[in-house]
Amino acid sequence: MEVGMIGADRDDVQSSKFKNYKGEDGKTDRLGLVFPDEAYANGKKIYCGTKIHFEQKTKKYFICKSTDTDKQICCTTPYSGNKNSWRLGAVVVKYNLVKEDGKTKLKGWEVLPWAFSENVYNKLKKQDGKFPLNKFDIEIEYKKQGQFLNSEITPCNDSIWRKNPELMKKVLALYPAALEDVKGNLAKDLNIEEIKELLGIDTPGSQDAATDVSIGDVLDGV
């Protein structure tokens, strides 16, 4: 396509980014976890995840830099979020279901990236044990408890998107891009210097150098 001048009234110029799926207090959503059959057959690799920290003041998630044998500054500095935890993600299809004449009808659907805590992961894992996520949708209900949004997950009796071959094709076509979005948005991948800055740790710089070298030594060398 050629580069052209564009007016301010085009409505087909959109960000290719997906919105993230988010639960709301007092709401219940029906979702289907989206993944190709091979991913499920191959060790149920249907989630992505990383260890993260949460910085309270800026409310930022960032990826933990430690390994099993090498603890980094994100874990060793004292601050409220220094204990790392898992943050996970998956791709979901969210259905817009409407009751009409006593029947439930599918009025629309959206494929969305979904990021969640280890708590939700364990609930999904538990359901998958009894109601496999490649055959059953989930219903997820949100209720605020204190400052946290608690979620209750229950199985639905089938998988809407997998039952309809046309819908399945469309949903799976959106899956790879949505999965990349999940991976890219779980947490910020900061480098050590950026983590120090976020946590307000002084970085060794000119001040430290000045205390190690006396002015006389510096002048002698000139």
| Total binding residues toward Zn ion, as defined by CB under 5 A | 5
Q: Coil, strand, or helix at residue 210?
A: helix
| Residue 75 vs 177, nearer CB to Zn ion | 75
Instruction: Report in angstroms how near the CB of residue 204 gets to Zn ion at its nearest.
Output: 20
Please tell me whether residue 185 binds Zn ion under the rule CB under 5 A: no
**x/- contact string, 70-89, with Zn ion (CB under 5 A)?**
----xx--------x-----
Instruction: Report in angstroms how near the CB of residue 80 gets to Zn ion at its nearest.
Output: 13
Distance separating the N- and C-terminal Cα atoms of the chain: 61
| Residue 63 vs 177, nearer CB to Zn ion | 63
| Residue 74 vs 88, nearer CB to Zn ion | 74
Q: What is the radius of gyration, based on Cα positions, of the chain?
A: 24
List, as one string, the DSSP characters of 99-157.
Answer: EETTEEEEEEEEEEEEEEEHHHHHHHHHHHHHS-TTT--EEEEEEEETTEEEEEEEE-S
**x/- contact string, 193-212, with Zn ion (CB under 5 A)?**
--------------------
| Residue 77 vs 134, nearer CB to Zn ion | 77
Residues 6+ positions from 52 with CB-CB distance below 8 Å? 61, 62, 63, 64, 84, 85, 86, 87, 186, 187
| Residue 75 vs 97, nearer CB to Zn ion | 75
Task: Find the binder of Zn ion among 66, 85, 127, 151 (CB under 5 A).
Answer: 66
Using CA atoms, how far apart are residues 16 and 160, in angstroms rounded to an integer?
25
Residues of this chain that interact with Zn ion (CB under 5 A) are 64, 66, 74-75, 84
